[in-house]
Structures are given as C-alpha cells and as structure tokens.
Amino acid sequence: MAKRLLEIRSLDVHYGDAHVLFDVDLHVDEGAIVSLVGANGAGKSTLLKAVSGLVAPTDGEIRFRDRSIVGMAAQEIVGIGISHVPEGRGLFAQMTVLENLELGAYPSRQRPRMRESLARVFELFPRLDERRGQKAGSLSGGEQQMLAIGRAMMANPSLLILDEPSLGLSPIIVRTMFELVRTLNEQGMTILLVEQNIHQALQVAHHAYVLQTGHIVMQGSGPALLEDPTVRKAYIGSLA
C-alpha cells in the first residue's frame, strides 16, 4: 500500500458563525492525484486553505507525513513541503516572472537550491523562460497559471495543491493544464486538485471526493465516480 502523505480526520471549519466544513475525512497517498469536486460554495477552497494554514480549523486533525500541522502558520507549512496554488493564481502582478519564481524559493531550505529549481521550472515551462523579464500581470491567462504552478514548484513540494487551475482558461489551454497535471504526477508529484471542471478532474484522478455543503458525500476512484449516476446527474449534467 502506498504511503499516506496527507490525512485529514473529522475536520470542522467555521467562518465566524457560519459552519463551513463538517466532520471531513480525506486522505492523499504519496504519488496520487486526488480530486475534490463539488458545487460552488461547497467548501472546497476552505478545505485547501485549512491544509495550507490560511484558515484555522475549529476541530479535527490534519497530519502531513504523520505529523500534525494544525496551528502551524502558512509560511511554515510551505517550508515542510506543501505548496498551495490559490484560486485566481495569486501572482505578484507588478513583479516580473523571474521575481515571482524567485519568491517561490523563499523558504530558507529552498534558497540554496534556487538555481536548480529555476532550471527545472524553465525546462517544464520554456515559455516562462522566454518571458522572465516581463511583468506577471501582462501574461496571458494560461501563462499566468503556468507561472503560478511554476512558483509553487520552486519550493520543491512533496504535495502540490491546485485550486481551480482551469478557471477562466480557453478549452484548449484547459486540456494543456490537465496534461500538465498528469505529467507532473508521472514525474512523482502528489497532487490535491480542486476543480469546477468535474469531468476532467475525475478523469485524471486516482481517487476523488465529492463535497456537498461542507460534507463529504461520496468518494471513490475517479473513473468509478465518473460512471456514478448520481454524480453524473448532479454535477456533469449535459456535459456527459
């Protein structure tokens, strides 16, 4: 059996008075692509934010490599190997492509490796190399998403969290994005993916969870969920 990289148990999250996540259990095995799907407002982004330390859970446990990470600050969590690419990419728009990437290697253990990491990211995304001196805000949507992922890769994570990487991209670029997710995974990267593009997200996933108003209502292998009539009816609709 594959090693468990991330384990979430009985997680509850509140925003003020609003109860957003209820008793959520989820795990990610090393080397897997795990997709988390569900409607808007189901709590998908909140779950990711709880993992990366941006949101403090009210109850429950989050363990990474068998070590509790609840209560750690976001800037410490990236240092132990979890990189979170937020929804909307969160680039430093006024800074250059190169500066964005350099900041990706900010954690102290990554700084000495900056040169190698940069070479690796440029090999993966030659387009970023061509545009290294350009401001991030001037890139196209697809390039911005590449930069956001490239910046996360600069921290040499063992878990890459992607929140809606295909949001706002044209269908062709969306396909490229999912190919990229597969490629990264084939190179050994473990990926936790949140997507509104449910069909693609389930196709690419080894394991998937369906989140509905803060509850995990279903889980299984990607292909199995894709065939499930309830999932098809509720989320894929006419797309299927």
Partner 1 sequence: MLEILSPRLVGELLVNGLLFGAMYGVAAIGLSLIFGTMRIIFLAQGAMIVLAGYCAYWAFALLGVDPYVTMIALLPVSLVVGAAIYQLLFRRAAAIEDKNTSLLIAVGLMFMLESLMSVAWTPDPRSITTTYTATSFDVGGMPVSITRSIAFVVALVATALVTLFLKRTLIGKAVRAVSENMTSSMLVGISPHRVNMVAFAVGIALAGVAGCTLASTYAIDPYFGFLFSLKALIALALGGLGNVGGALAGGLLLGVIESGSSFFIPGWGDAIGYLVFLLVLMFRPEGLFVRSVKKA
Residues that bind partner 1 (CB under 8 A): 52-54, 73-75, 78-79, 83-84, 86, 89-95, 99, 102-104, 106-107, 110-111, 135-139, 144, 151, 155
Nearer to partner 1, 114 or 180 (CB): 114
For the bound state, the minimum distance from the C-beta of residue 102 to partner 1, rounded and expressed in Å, comes to 7
In whole angstroms, what is the distance from residue 240 CA to residue 236 CA? 6
Residue 176 · residue 142 · CB < 8 Å: yes
Question: What is the Cα 79 distance to its own chain's centre?
Answer: 16
Strand stretches in the chain, DSSP E: 4-15, 18-29, 33-37, 59-64, 67-68, 82-85, 159-163, 190-194, 207-212, 215-220
For the bound state, the minimum distance from the C-beta of residue 122 to partner 1, rounded and expressed in Å, comes to 18
Nearer to partner 1, 41 or 88 (CB): 88
Nearer to partner 1, 43 or 104 (CB): 104
Nearer to partner 1, 52 or 200 (CB): 52
For the bound state, the minimum distance from the C-beta of residue 91 to partner 1, rounded and expressed in Å, comes to 4
- CA neighbours closer than 13 Å in the CB half-sphere of residue 226: 17
Nearer to partner 1, 138 or 221 (CB): 138
141-153 helix and 114-124 helix, angle to the nearest 10 degrees: 150
For the bound state, the minimum distance from the C-beta of residue 31 to partner 1, rounded and expressed in Å, comes to 23
For the bound state, the minimum distance from the C-beta of residue 100 to partner 1, rounded and expressed in Å, comes to 8
The conformational region for residue 73 under phi > 0 = left, psi -120 to 50 = alpha, else beta, is beta
